[in-house]
Structure 1
Amino acid sequence: MTKNFFILLIIFLYITNGKVDSRIEVHVVDALPNNDIPLSLHCASKDDDLGYHYPKVGDDFHFHFYPKLFGHTLFFCHFWWGKKDAAFDVYTYELSPNCSWDDRSISYCYWKVQEDGFYMGPSLNEVKKMHDWN
């Protein structure tokens, strides 16, 4: 019986690629003071390169994914703003408590890019500072 369970588990993990049914949305909002110095960002994971993006003030760059079953999903971004830059993880299982869930099994993680650093939270109105610019 135990052997059959593990065989079924392996088949399930193979079919689902180790992913769960819940969707994660990561939002990166440009809240810098103006567009005189443009923001640039590049986000990726081990499996997905989301490319370079150049949002304007107020823009919301966002992406979604289905996390892997055992919590190993990781997305990181590198940001440039004039002579400043910063690179860090924007989603890991450890960061997920800073996100919110809705009734459709979607988790929303918001990052707000400001002049003094990077803020994260479950909405743009509920963020806390996580990183400074380098």
Structure 2
Amino acid sequence: MNFYIYSFLFVLSLNGVIAATNSSKGALSRYQVWVVSALPSGTDPLFLHCWSSDDDLGTHFLPPGPHGFHWHFRENISQSTKFKCEFVWINKNIAFYVFDKHLSGKCKGRGGICYWLVMETAFYFANYINPFPKDLELMYSW
């Protein structure tokens, strides 16, 4: 009897490992979120605070430049992973989800890239790092 229980549990755990390593999209997929400031040089840095229900990524001050702030994660099994960020620059303030189930389909490439470029008037999205201007999608205005 114990042999059957252990065999059943082993098969269940093996299925989870196969799903986690085989899937390029869907539950347990890997993603990267990049936030890069393209705000004017000589102005205040961009204040950024990002979090999910499980992780607080802390506060960051981003000067303009290509490096920005980024993190990677695996989406949870129920595909309900959400990361929200608050952005503050001079007298502007906005908060929105930089990753959720609706954006996950847009995040492409190896590692599921979600790239956010913050500009003086708006927030742009692309699915690869250092995108060409034609590939930036306007998502939010300040």
TM-score by length of 1: 0.80
More strand by share: 1
- Secondary structure of 1:115's partner? coil
TM-score by length of 2: 0.76
**Which has the greater radius of gyration?**
2
* Superposed CA RMSD: 2.5
Match of 2:3 in 1: none
Match of 2:136 in 1: 127
Would the aligned equivalents of 2:31 and 2:107 in 1 still touch at CA under 8 Å? no
5 Å matches for 1:1-134? 8=12, 20-58=27-65, 59-102=67-110, 106-123=111-128, 124-125=131-132, 126-133=135-142
What CA distance in whole angstroms lies between the structure 2 residues aligned with 1:45 and 1:111?
Answer: 17
Percent pairwise identity: 39
Would the aligned equivalents of 1:35 and 1:57 in 2 still touch at CA under 8 Å? no
Q: Structure 2: where are the runs of 5+ without partners?
A: 1-7, 21-25
Q: Structure 1: where are the runs of 5+ without partners?
A: none
Misfit runs of 4+, over 6 Å: none
Figure out how many residues of one structure are paired with residues of the other and give that number. Answer: 121
Alignment CA distance shift 1:33-1:96 (3 Å): same
